[in-house]
Amino acid sequence: MNSRSPSTLIADTGRGNEAAILNAALEAFGTKGFNGASMRDVAKGAGTGLSNLYNYFPSKSQLLAEVLRHANDELYARVRRAVEEAGDDAASRMREAVRAYVGFVVDHQVATVVATSEVRYLEQGDRQRLVAERDATQALFEEIVAQGIAGGEFRTPYGKDAARAILSMIAAVAYWYHRDGRLSRGQLAEQQARYALAMLEAPLAN
Partner DNA sequence: GATGAATGAGATTTCATTCAT
Partner DNA sequence: AATGAATGAAATCTCATTCAT
Total of residues contacting DNA (CB under 7 A): 20
Task: Name the one range near DNA by CB under 7 A: 43-51, 89-97, 103-111, 112-120.
Answer: 43-51
- If contact means CB under 5 to 8 A according to the sort of partner, which of a copy of itself, DNA, none does residue 11 touch? none
Of 10, 179, 162, the C-alpha closest to 98 is: 162
Binding status of residue 49 toward DNA by CB under 7 A: yes
Binding mask 6-25 for DNA (x = CB under 7 A): ---------xxx--------
Q: Rounded to whole angstroms, how far apart are CA atoms 183 and 109?
A: 15
Out of 2, 5, 124, 176, the residue judged to bind a copy of itself by CB under 8 A? 176
Q: Rounded to whole angstroms, how far apart are CA atoms 80 and 123?
A: 28
Out of 4, 6, 12, 50, the residue judged to bind DNA by CB under 7 A? 50
Contact between 118 and 29 (Cβ < 8 Å): yes
Out of 89, 121, 136, 143, the residue judged to bind a copy of itself by CB under 8 A? 121
Least distance in angstroms from the C-beta of 39 to DNA: 4
Q: Count other Cβ atoms within 10 Å, centred on residue 177.
A: 16
Q: Rounded to whole angstroms, how far apart are CA atoms 128 and 120?
A: 10
Out of 175, 184, 186, 203, the residue judged to bind a copy of itself by CB under 8 A? 175
Q: Interface residues for a copy of itself in 100-119 (CB under 8 A)?
A: 116-117
Q: In sequence order, which residues have a C-beta less than 8 Å from that of residue 206 and are 6 or more positions away?
A: none
Q: In sequence order, which residues have a C-beta less than 8 Å from that of residue 186 and are 6 or more positions away?
A: none
Q: Rounded to whole angstroms, how far apart are CA atoms 173 and 153?
A: 26
Q: Which DSSP string do the residues of 135-180 spell out, in sequence order? A: HHHHHHHHHHHHHHHHTTS---S-HHHHHHHHHHHHHHGGGT--TT
Least distance in angstroms from the C-beta of 155 to a copy of itself: 9
- If contact means CB under 5 to 8 A according to the sort of partner, which of DNA, a copy of itself, none does residue 60 touch? DNA
Which residues make up the interface to a copy of itself (CB under 8 A)?
32-36, 116-117, 120-121, 156, 158, 161-162, 164-165, 168-169, 171-173, 175-176, 183, 191-192, 194-195, 198-199, 201, 204
